[in-house]
């Protein structure tokens, strides 16, 4: 079942609107596992596409219109991170606003920073957290731990920042590179924040915890590893390197832990989820879910794993979210890439504290959707 | 490009003894070659009398326009100005020019303004050349849809045209079905068509001077039938494409089209500004700066204005709004302002 249901073939991402970009009339453009594009013969792909999509259970779902009520002067940019706390309040970590200088080839442009907003369960704006914080450069993820602490992962500053429920900084992991020569481009080129292995990150992507409070950081674009820290932030170990073998990663973009402390890593470039035990021992891999951009594991006695095969920002193919058992058994999927309600524009994070009421943050649609699944 | 041409002719002039003392004159016109290149081919065009309303836009005490890049009106006559201020900002004024509000303050997609347009449902669309994005606001001023994606820090623009990313886009237009056309732009020399939900349909154009090719598609407008008029600025021509982006016609007698617009109603007019270059070149300013009024088939009806900094003169018009065919709004780069123009009937020479 899993092999048929999932997006294991590249044909799942056939570009029906992209014909103009392929030289031959019989060719269509597809995205390869590394996010590049190539043109393949048309007929072969149509057959595979039909196999891949027709036999997978579609999960019915709704999306609430205008789920967030923003103040007049606040706008979301790319909604990179979304997470809820135990009260159902929603945190959105978004790439927006705040001018920094960027030097182009011939001109200077300004670009934004990132901001963290809190909403109550009805979508009413509550407050901004961490306004102007040193580590808010390029939002990547936000997660809320078992004690309702809010953790922000910033890909630009190479930092993971823990806030108390009151919104004060409790702990920081990593260090923002010093900005002497190239302000606003944190993490590019040699800098003091890119140690491997060790405490520092190079464009980290996600954070998770086990029951003992140990911290796992997906690190990330630059380092292709998972780092483990104890509850006090002391570095314990890290595993992984760039590659395609077991325990290797090609862009670990998202991670989640189950109740037993196993670590699930979305290995986006390798189009698989790798599962490790609490010490980093390889357990298994889950394929057939396309390119996992965002994963989450719901709490409770029966835990579910969600994984988003998000569309590349320059494509409207794919985009569906899969619902799986922790062992990888496919339960169904929902959604597709697009700009309308119930369509997804490069989902970058999923919150599944309630397994049937998901919150997704989208990069290319600059919005958050609240989804109610009817499996 | 104008500067290069200028230098080339200066070099030629030095190499040829008979022209060594002055820029190469042509006996009939007394103009340099660069001036002849910049001047519109259409001459002996009737002058359209017009006036410009003084101090039209009323700004709050601590608010200033920067380069007046984009101007557009909605169905209520409200005016939207997209300006390169210290940050790129979008302001709304009422029909009398009274300041109403700022839209999209601190927006992620506001980096370097290029154009603003208002669609038939009064949604406000901003085209940003710096963030490579086209942003649709609903009439309340909230983001309703975005096209393109701002490059991540340190990320270069894509080398080849892609369906959903732009490289310094310049303008946006729609047809009656709501399909979206994006002029893209400085980097990609193409026009892209999307459906009303933002799905890619087609694109046309590559860099060049042949019919259907584009060299800086800088401005664009659609007529009621869904034909697309592209201001092909560096080729000094307007190219017309049908709704499927098939090439139809070239209008090349009105200089370099920096800004075009098409008025609504049963008889539509096409306006095009042969704007003076934004380089403050006084020789070129002498032969440019005027706006042409044309039929949709390219017939020139009249022209008005010339380069200059005074009221009623133009300093590099960058966008024209012609929702009312005789009450135009123009925004200017070099003078940081928006002018409201009232056109009067042409006095026909007997």
Each residue's pLDDT tens digit in chain B (350 positions)?
344 444 444 444 434 444 444 444 444 578 999 999 999 999 999 999 999 999 999 999 999 999 989 999 999 999 999 999 988 999 999 999 999 999 999 999 999 999 999 999 999 999 999 999 999 999 999 999 999 999 887 676 667 889 999 999 999 999 999 999 999 999 999 999 999 999 999 999 999 999 999 999 999 999 999 999 999 999 999 999 999 999 999 999 999 999 999 999 999 999 999 999 999 999 999 999 999 999 999 999 999 999 999 999 999 999 999 999 999 999 999 999 999 999 998 866 54
Determine the residue of chain B that is closest to A102 in CA distance: B153
Instruction: Give me the torsion for CA of A43, A48, A50, A54, rounded to 10°.
Output: 180
Q: Residue A337: what pLDDT?
A: 98
Q: How far apart are CA A202 and CA A218, in angstroms?
A: 10
User: Hey, is the C-beta of B111 within 8 angstroms of any chain A C-beta?
Assistant: yes
Q: What is the DSSP letter of B314?
A: B
Closest CA to B325 of B247, B270, B279: B270
pLDDT of B72 reads 98
pLDDT at position A55? 56
- Contact list in B for residue A190 (CB cut-off 8 A) is none
For residues B58 and B99, is the Cβ–Cβ distance under 8 A?
yes
How far apart are alpha carbons B27 and A39 in whole angstroms? 58
Min Cα distance B228 → chain A (Å) is 19
In sequence order, which residues have a C-beta less than 8 Å from that of residue A157 and are 6 or more positions away?
A: A134, A135, A136, A137, A138, A174, A176, A177, A186, A187
Diameter of chain B measured on Cα atoms: 65
Asked if residue A281 lies in contact with residue A265, where contact means CB atoms within 8 angstroms, the answer is: no
For A157, name the nearest residue in chain B, comparing CA atoms only: B153
**CB within 8 Å of B331: residues ≥ 6 apart:** B68, B69, B70, B71, B81, B83, B317, B318, B319, B337, B338
Residues 6+ apart with CB under 8 A from A318: A7, A12, A13, A290, A291, A309, A310, A311, A336, A337
Which of the residues in chain A have pLDDT under 50?
Answer: 1-4, 8-54, 105, 109-111, 180-194
Token digits of residue A179? 């900005």
Tokens of B214: 């584009």
- Which among A18, A185, A338 is the nearest to B154, CB-wise? A185
- Mutation for testing the B interface, residue in A28, A96, A110, A345 having most B CBs under 10 Å: A110
> Which are the contacts of B58, defined by CB distance < 8 A and separation ≥ 6?
B93, B97, B98, B99
A24 CB-near residues (< 8 Å, 6+ apart):
A39
pLDDT given for residue A6 in this prediction? 52
User: Listing from the earlier edge strand, what are the strands of the sheet with A60-63?
Assistant: A60-63, A367-374, A357-362, A347-354
Rounded distance between C-alpha atoms, residue B44 and residue A246, angstroms = 77
Residue burial B81-102, b: 16+ Cβ < 10 Å; e: rest: bbbbeebbbbbbbeeebebeeb
Do the Cβ atoms of B106 and A364 come within 8 Å? no
Q: First and final CA of chain B: distance in angstroms?
A: 40
**B107/A97 touch (CB, cutoff 8 Å), yes or no:** yes
Interface pTM (ipTM) of the complex?
0.84
Q: Rg for chain A (alpha carbons), in Å? A: 20
Note whether B142 contacts A70, CB cutoff 8 Å: yes
Q: Which positions in chain A touch B149 (Cβ < 8 Å)?
A: 313-314, 363-364
A-B contacts (CB, under 8 Å): 94
Overall pTM > 0.95: no
By C-alpha distance, which of A99, A217, A9 is closest to B87? A99
Check CB contact under 8 Å for A102 and B153. Answer: yes
Q: B312 with B320: CB under 8 angstroms?
A: no
From residue A95, how far is each of A135, A362, B84, B103 by CA, in Å?
A: 13, 11, 21, 18
- Give residue ranges of A with CB < 8 Å to any B CB: 15, 17-18, 20-21, 70, 72-73, 75-78, 94-99, 102, 107, 109-112, 137-138, 156, 184-186, 188, 313-316, 338-340, 363-367
B128 → chain A, closest CA residue: A109
- C-alpha A22: how far from its chain's center? 30
Closest of B199, B197, B240 to residue B217, by C-alpha:
B240
Give the N- to C-terminal CA distance of chain A in Å, as an integer: 17
The shortest CB-CB distance from B165 to any of A102, A111, A314 is to A314
Neighbouring-strand partners of residue A350? A360
Instruction: Pick the residue of A15, A155, A339 with the most B CBs within 10 A to test the interface with B by mutation.
Output: A339
Token couple for A225: 């590893």
Q: Which residue bears the tokens 């490579």?
A: B132
Residue of B nearest to A316 (CA): B199
Task: Judge if the upstream peptide bond of residue A299 is cis by omega within 30 degrees of 0.
Answer: no
Q: What is the largest CA-CA distance in chain A?
A: 60
């Amino acid at each position: 079942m899993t092999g048929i249901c999932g997006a294991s073939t590249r044909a799942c991402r056939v570009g029906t609107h992209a014909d103009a970009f392929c030289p031959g009339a019989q060719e269509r453009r597809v995205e390869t596992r590394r996010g590049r594009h190539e043109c393949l013969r048309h007929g072969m792909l149509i057959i595979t596409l039909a196999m891949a999509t027709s036999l997978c259970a579609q999960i019915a779902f709704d999306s609430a219109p205008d789920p967030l009520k923003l103040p007049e002067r606040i706008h979301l940019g790319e909604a990179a991170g979304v997470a809820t706390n135990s009260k159902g309040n929603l945190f959105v970590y978004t790439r927006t606003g705040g001018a920094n200088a960027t030097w182009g080839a011939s001109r200077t442009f300004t670009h934004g920073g990132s901001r963290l907003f809190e909403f109550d369960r009805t979508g009413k704006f509550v407050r901004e957290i961490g306004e102007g914080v040193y580590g808010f450069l390029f939002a990547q993820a936000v997660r809320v731990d078992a004690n309702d602490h809010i953790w922000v992962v910033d890909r630009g500053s190479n930092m993971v920042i823990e806030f108390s429920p009151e919104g004060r900084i409790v702990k920081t992991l990593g260090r923002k590179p010093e900005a002497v020569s190239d302000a606003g481009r944190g993490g590019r080129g040699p800098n003091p924040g890119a140690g491997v292995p060790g405490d520092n990150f190079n464009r980290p992507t996600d954070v998770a915890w086990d029951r003992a409070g140990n911290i796992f950081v997906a690190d990330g674009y630059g380092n292709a590893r998972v780092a483990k820290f104890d509850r006090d932030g002391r570095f314990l170990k890290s595993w992984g390197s760039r590659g395609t073998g077991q325990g290797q990663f090609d862009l670990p973009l998202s991670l989640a832990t189950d109740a037993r402390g196993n670590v699930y890593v979305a290995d986006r470039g390798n189009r698989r989820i790798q599962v490790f035990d609490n010490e980093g021992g390889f357990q298994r891999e889950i394929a057939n879910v396309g390119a996992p951009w965002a994963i989450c594991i719901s709490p409770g006695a029966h835990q579910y794993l969600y994984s988003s095969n998000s569309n590349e920002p320059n494509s409207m193919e794919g985009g569906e979210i899969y619902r799986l058992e922790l062992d990888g058994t496919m339960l169904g999927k929902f959604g597709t890439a697009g700009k309308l309600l119930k369509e997804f524009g490069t989902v970058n994070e999923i919150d599944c504290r309630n397994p049937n009421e998901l919150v997704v943050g989208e990069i290319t649609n600059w919005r958050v959707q609240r989804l109610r699944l009817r499996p | 490009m104008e500067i290069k041409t200028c230098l080339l002719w200066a070099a030629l002039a030095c190499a040829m003894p008979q022209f060594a003392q002055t820029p190469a004159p042509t006996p009939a016109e007394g103009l340099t070659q660069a001036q002849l290149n910049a001047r519109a081919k259409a001459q002996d065009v009737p002058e359209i009398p017009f006036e410009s309303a003084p101090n039209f836009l009323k700004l709050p005490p601590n608010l200033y326009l920067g380069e007046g890049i984009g101007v557009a009106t909605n169905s209520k006559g409200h005016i939207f100005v997209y300006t390169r201020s210290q940050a790129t900002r979008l302001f709304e004024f009422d029909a009398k020019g009274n300041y109403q509000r700022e839209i999209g303050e601190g927006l992620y997609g506001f980096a370097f303004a290029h154009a603003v347009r208002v669609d038939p449902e009064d949604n406000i669309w901003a085209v940003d050349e710096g963030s490579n994005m086209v942003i649709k606001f609903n009439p309340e001023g909230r983001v309703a849809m975005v096209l393109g994606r701002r490059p991540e820090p340190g990320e270069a623009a894509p080398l080849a045209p892609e369906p959903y990313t732009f490289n310094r886009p310049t303008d946006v237009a729609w047809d009656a079905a709501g399909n979206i056309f994006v002029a893209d732009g400085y980097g990609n020399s193409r026009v892209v068509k999307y459906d009303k939900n933002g799905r890619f349909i087609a694109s046309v154009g590559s860099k060049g001077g042949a019919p259907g090719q584009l060299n800086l598609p800088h401005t664009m407008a659609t007529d009621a039938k869904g034909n697309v008029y592209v201001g092909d600025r560096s080729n000094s021509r307007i190219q017309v494409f049908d709704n499927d982006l098939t090439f139809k016609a070239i209008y090349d007698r009105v200089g370099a089209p920096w800004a075009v617009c098409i008025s609504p109603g049963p008889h539509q007019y096409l306006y095009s500004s042969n704007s003076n270059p934004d380089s403050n070149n006084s020789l070129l300013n002498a032969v440019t700066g005027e706006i042409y009024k044309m039929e949709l088939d390219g017939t020139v009806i009249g022209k008005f204005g010339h380069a200059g900094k005074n009221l009623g003169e133009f300093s590099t018009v960058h966008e024209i709004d012609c929702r009312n065919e005789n009450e135009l709004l123009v925004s200017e780069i070099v003078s940081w302002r928006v002018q409201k123009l009232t056109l009067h009937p042409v006095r026909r020479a007997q």
